Structure 1
């Protein structure tokens, strides 16, 4: 009888140890596969790592992965606790239940939870590559049960109005990347300029041309009815090589004049085979102007950049849904959203456009975009309801403020310095 008890004791004890090892495997696998960076796994897989490639495939369906691993983990933990209770109850009587609870809690906590998870979180990619092949087998074995559990969980969640979206993880990749970049900057691993460029590239799909276009009130245009001398003088003094051409009203854009095309035509009239200085009077700016390219104001920046590249042009006029001119956009404007302000020898030097006064105030042009201000000052003013800093003040005030009015919101103090008609032209801003 004693021999049978000894044999049973060692068989059950061995089974408990085996179950604890299996529980450690499931716990560590769950942590490793959820904590591993898919980017690092992809890099390892590209170098020929079969384990990393297997880990990528396993983590594609995170819900199925978690279901299978948790099912295995709970089965082993519950079975090991049951065996320990049976064994100790046989050895010490009814008090074995309490003793088994204490012993198994200690063993499971240390050897099946903390130890494997600590290793997995410290070596996430290495551990994920090692356990992925075995986990794939577990997922296949448990797939019928996991599928039933998933259906039950989705049904229970739907009762509370929660919809489990299988594509939510894919849709969240962009936010995950943006968050990682912002976190890297806050920890000092990513420079501000690098953060701005990376986030600027990510934001192109979420921003529209109306947010960065040059407003129609600031567009320099050429009057088609102006004299040739006036047109040539304007082309020579303008810092721009392309100028929209209008006739009658500024809304009536009939073409876009390129300075090179204009000067080629002037050269032909004046210095061509039959050219004379007097023939400059025959200059027709409409003849040399290109056909205007109009784009809707709601076009996303990444789509517009693709259109510019496809059409081999980088100059567009922005119109609203009624066809009315709203502004002007160039490829350079889109690139500036990624790399920052691009200047040349004809641009005004704005290397440090925002300088604080002795009191800590910043005098800002009302037409400055909130995004540019945030990037330059590392602020976080919201740009959901307005594109410019003047628009933000008007939105928050729910009125067009008068000169001298002061407002405080979003942790800043805003004072209206100058106003022209219904436009706020200058503001004084100070962080509170």
Structure 2
């Protein structure tokens, strides 16, 4: 370096400092880039994204070429800085050189470029890929040798780089991604996406219409009563049974009912009704909603009778019930969907039908009663008290005061509920 002027050495030093900053920022940018956005850009045929993705498939080789380059640059920068210090200040300059050199490298070649790359990884990684890709090919023999030694040491600790797989998100991690999406995904869409993830945690038993609320056609009724029911029904599908829903015989679709009612009244008999019935589709009560949705689609069914492990009918579930778990009620009138079972009172309390499902109650009142036990409010109260309560019985469920108002047989018919204790005390 004796033939090179001090000013030239200074320029070389700053050039090496810039190269060190490039390698440092490239390492952070490559490792910090969003892998899922990167995959999206690769599918969009983004050239730089394809190069970055290819480099990240072998992170050991990527890190190898970056560190080889960075270390070579840093060593050369140290030698140049040493020569400059020796010329300007002699042995004293060489002695104190580590302090300013360390500060200079930390500021301009490490902390600043790495912080910039962590904040804007794509701005750093994409341009860097056009340099690192040919550099990796150029230094491939050295990189392969270094990786062979490094990977050998890792295997001693039970780590196999060759077994590296792309990251995959679990459902809970995906839930976090959706929640953290912020304004990038509309709130309504976020709620729908989260509802889809929740389908695997709920079963058809959670959303079915209970057996005692199923509306169907009883073939034991008078024919005139049956025909009147068919004329006025608001349902697209009706189960047909004999004496009780436990003896279901088939299903009547709205179009079959229309065809049936278009016939002469004299030609319609109970046997004619049987001819229009379709087979019943049975659904085990413990089937997860996401699984049942796919089964409905695969079997071209829209309604099923829910049965327990003994084959006894427990309720009825439709594909619309599952879809409402994702998109919400198909009506925009909140009162229309809740007034049957949930009645807000002037004092801030709610008059509730005991048959309201816990899931519907949680959704309507935005509370968090347990859903891993009984499916109805009546069942939840009876399980909590371990007995059939008397009217006037008070209790707290998950911090919400409840007063039993009416009992019908072994069922809690109606209750009054407050959101919290302070509200209850103010109204009493």
Tell me, yes or no, whether TM beats 0.5.
yes
How far residue 292 of structure 1 moved from its aligned partner, in angstroms, is 0.6
Asked whether the equivalents of residues 32 and 118 of structure 2 are also in contact (C-alpha less than 8 Å), the reply is yes
Maintained 8 Å contact 2:349/2:416: no
1:243 aligns with 2:231: no
Give the secondary-structure state (helix, strand or coil) at the position aligned to 1:262. helix
Structure 2 Cα separation of the partners of residues 367 and 153 of structure 1: 61
Return the offset for 1:340: 0.6
Given candidates 244, 257, 261, the residue that maps to 2:256 is 261
Tell me the equivalent position of 2:217.
Answer: 222
Match of 1:323 in 2: 311
1:54 paired with 2:51, answer yes
Quick one: structure 1 residues 114 and 377, their matched pair in 2 at CA, closer, same or farther if it must change by over 3 Å?
A: farther
TM-score (norm 1): 0.72
Is the CA contact (8 Å cut-off) linking 2:117 and 2:124 kept in structure 1? yes
Give 1:189 deviation, angstroms: 5.8
Judge which range, 38-47 or 48-57, deviates more.
Answer: 38-47
- In the alignment, the residues of structure 2 paired with residue 131 and residue 28 of structure 1 have an alpha-carbon distance, to the nearest angstrom, of 9
Alignment partners' CA distance in 2, 1:343 and 1:51: 48
Between stretches 145-154 and 45-54, larger displacement belongs to 145-154
Provide the rounded CA distance (Å) in 2 between the counterparts of 1:120 and 1:304. Answer: 46
Closer, same or farther: CA 287–19 of 1 in aligned 2, 3 Å: same
Question: How far apart, CA to CA, are the structure 2 residues paired with 1:424 and 1:408?
Answer: 17
Note the alpha carbon deviations across 1:362-405, whole angstroms, 9 max, x for none. Answer: 555555555555555555x3766247473895699584684633
State how 1:164-175 maps to structure 2 within 5 Å.
169-172=167-170, 174-175=171-172
Aligned residue in 1 for 2:424: none
SS in 1 for 2:372: coil
Cα shift readout 1:111-136 (whole Å, capped 9, x = no counterpart): 23332234334433333322234455
Aligned length: 408
1:22 to partner: Cα distance: 4.5
Distance 1:369 1:132 in 2: 56
Residue 322 and residue 401 in structure 1: after superposition, are their counterparts in 2 closer, same or farther (change >3 A)? closer
Equivalent residue, structure 2, for 1:25: 22
**1:115 to 2:103 alignment:** no
Stretches of structure 1 lacking an aligned partner (at least 5 in a row): 159-164, 271-275
Correspondence for 2:325: 337
1:198 positional shift? 2.3
Q: In terms of mean alpha carbon deviation, does 75-84 or 370-379 score higher?
A: 75-84
Once residues 405 and 151 of structure 1 are traced to their aligned partners in structure 2, the CA distance between those partners, rounded to angstroms, is 69
In the other structure, the counterpart of 1:273 is none
Say if 2:372 is the partner of 1:385.
Answer: yes
Q: Is the 8 A contact 1:81 1:104 kept in 2?
A: no
What pairs with 1:87-126 in structure 2 (closer than 5 Å)? Answer: 100=98, 102-126=99-123
SS in 1 for 2:400: strand
Change in CA separation of 1:406 and 1:35 when aligned onto 2, cut-off 3 Å: farther
SS at match of 1:268: coil
Rounded Cα–Cα distance in structure 2 between residues aligned with 1:341 and 1:304: 19
Give the drift of 1:291: 0.4
Taking the aligned partners of 1:84 and 1:338, their CA distance within structure 2 comes to 66
Of stretches 253-262 and 398-407 in structure 1, the one that deviates more from structure 2 is 398-407
Deviations 1:292-341 (A, max 9, x none): 11233343433433333333331122223433323222111121122110
Q: Secondary structure at the match of 1:299?
A: coil
Q: Does the 8 Å CA contact 1:24/1:112 hold for their aligned counterparts?
A: yes
Specify whether residues 178 and 399 from structure 1 end up closer, same or farther in structure 2 by C-alpha distance, changes over 3 A only: same
